[in-house]
Amino acid sequence: MQNILIIGSNGQLGSEISDAIVKFPDLAGFFYDLPQIDITDASSVASKIKEHAIDLIINCAAYTAVDQAEADIDAAYSVNRDGPAVLGRLCKQNDLKLIHISTDYVFSGSARVPYRETDATDPIGIYGKSKLAGEQVIRKISPSHLIIRTAWLYSTRGNNFVKTMLRLGLENDTIRVVSDQMGSPTYARDLAWVILTIINKDVAKIKDQTYHFTNEGVCSWYDFARAIMVIKNLQCQVQPIATKDYPTLAARPQYSVLNSAKIKADWGLAIPYWRDSLTECLAKL
Ligand SMILES: NC(=O)c1ccc[n+]([C@@H]2O[C@H](COP(=O)([O-])OP(=O)(O)OC[C@H]3O[C@@H](n4cnc5c(N)ncnc54)[C@H](OP(=O)(O)O)[C@@H]3O)[C@@H](O)[C@H]2O)c1
């Protein structure tokens, strides 16, 4: 039996892990979020490690407000860099494994072929820079870790693009959505399954690795929005627009496609196509 501490459990990914873990009888999950655990406060994490005799931590906690981060720099670095440093140190001291989630935003988005784990990072905003700093500190401190970068995450829980589009699609006849940013929509449920499958398969193999994981396939935000309207049979028209016509506080990577070949090969995984997973998620909404 592996005792797993899941932090950030009220978020999209944390909630999906909570749902999925019941299918893994050899894994016992202990789920915490603010205010019970604050990853920037070592004593709050240490007490739960002791209380539940934890073997492994999954860090789903993050400062994820991409635009707000541009003004709230200290808070973004506190949660996305200093929090992982706390977890890395505690894992090293207590000989625990650590699975940490990172993002496509560590890349600039200037590539035109899917990013591999070995490609140079070059974040263009505070969120991406703070998440990259979190990766770097974990690599430095804790040898028994996996860092999994994902992108365009959505779920039935929390705030995300799918839920926003559903609301807008019900309220409007027409919406305008950016068509020149490309990525891979990723159902947090699929990422949750991959994380638990990895732990269940061979926990000893969790050692100093970085992986990319998204659902299969590539689309633009416009394609993603169109698929949501079509699958839900909403009459709202989706019009494609350019990024320059939808200004945001933080710049977005234009090309966010991650190559997931390494995680598939190392762990023998099959990854669902984004539109199939989207259909399954929408059936629950
Ligand atoms: N969402 C995406 O599109 C996306 C894309 C690529 C990668 N990722 C990464 O994937 C991971 C999971 O993302 P998500 O979408 O599930 O995030 P989420 O829904 O924003 O959930 C994050 C959770 O962490 C909590 N949290 C924030 N600060 C904390 C702290 N100091 N200590 C403990 N908990 C804290 C949040 O609480 P509050 O809500 O109260 O702040 C929230 O419940 C993150 O590492 C994120 O960077 C996300």
By three-state DSSP, how is residue 166 classified? helix
Number of domains in the chain: 1
Rounded to the nearest angstrom, the distance between the alpha carbon of 237 and the centre of ligand 1 is: 31
Q: Exposed e or buried b for every residue in 174-185, given b needs 16+ CB within 10 A?
A: ebebbbbbbbbb
Establish if 64 belongs to a structural domain.
Answer: yes
Residue nearest to atom 10 of ligand 1 (CA): 101
Is residue 238 one of the residues assigned to a domain? no
pLDDT above 70 as % of the chain: 100
For residue 202, count CB atoms less than 10 angstroms from its CB and return exposed for 0-12, middle for 13-18, buried for 19 or more: exposed
pLDDT value for 84: 98
- Residue 237 falls within a domain, yes or no? no
- 171 is a domain residue: no
pTM score of the predicted model: 0.98
**Is residue 99 included in any domain, yes or no?**
yes
> Does the Cβ of 30 fall within 6 Å of ligand 1?
no
Which residue's alpha carbon is nearest to atom 5 within ligand 1? 151
Look at residue 231 and tell me if it is in a domain: no
The response to whether residue 150 sits with its C-beta less than 6 Å from ligand 1 reads: yes
For atom 29 of ligand 1, the residue with the nearest CA is 61
pLDDT single digits (tens) 170-210: 999 999 999 999 999 999 999 999 999 999 999 999 999 99
Asked whether 13 lines ligand 1 (CB < 6 A), one says yes
Is the distance from CB of 158 to CB of 12 less than 8 angstroms? yes
For ligand 1, say whether the CB of 62 is within 6 Å of any of its atoms: yes
Of ligand 1's atoms, which has the minimum distance to the CA of residue 40?
Answer: 31
Q: Which atom of ligand 1 is nearest to the CA of 78?
A: 31
pLDDT in tens, 134-167: 999 999 998 899 999 999 999 999 899 999 999 9
Max CA separation in the chain (angstroms): 57
Q: What percent of the chain has pLDDT over 90?
A: 99
Q: What is the mean pLDDT of the chain?
A: 97
Q: Annotated catalytic, 273? A: no
Atom of ligand 1 nearest to the CA of 59: 45
Q: Which atom of ligand 1 lies at the shortest distance from residue 37's CA?
A: 33
Any domain includes 225: no
CATH number at residue 78: 3.40.50.720
> What is residue 251's predicted lDDT score, i.e. its pLDDT?
95
| Residue 79, domain extent | 2-159+185-217+255-272
DSSP 112: S
Task: Provide the Cα torsion 269, 58, 84, 111; round to 10°.
Answer: 20
Q: Is 215 in the pocket of ligand 1 (CB under 6 A)?
A: no
Question: 3: which 2 tokens?
Answer: 């005792």
Distance 85 CA to ligand 1 centre (A): 16
Give the Å distances, CA to CA, from 182 to 101, 129, 223, 226. Answer: 21, 20, 9, 14
Please tell me which residue in 32, 63, 77, 127 is annotated as part of the active site.
Answer: 127
Assess whether the C-beta atom of 99 lies below 6 angstroms from ligand 1: no
Tell me if 223 is assigned to some domain: no
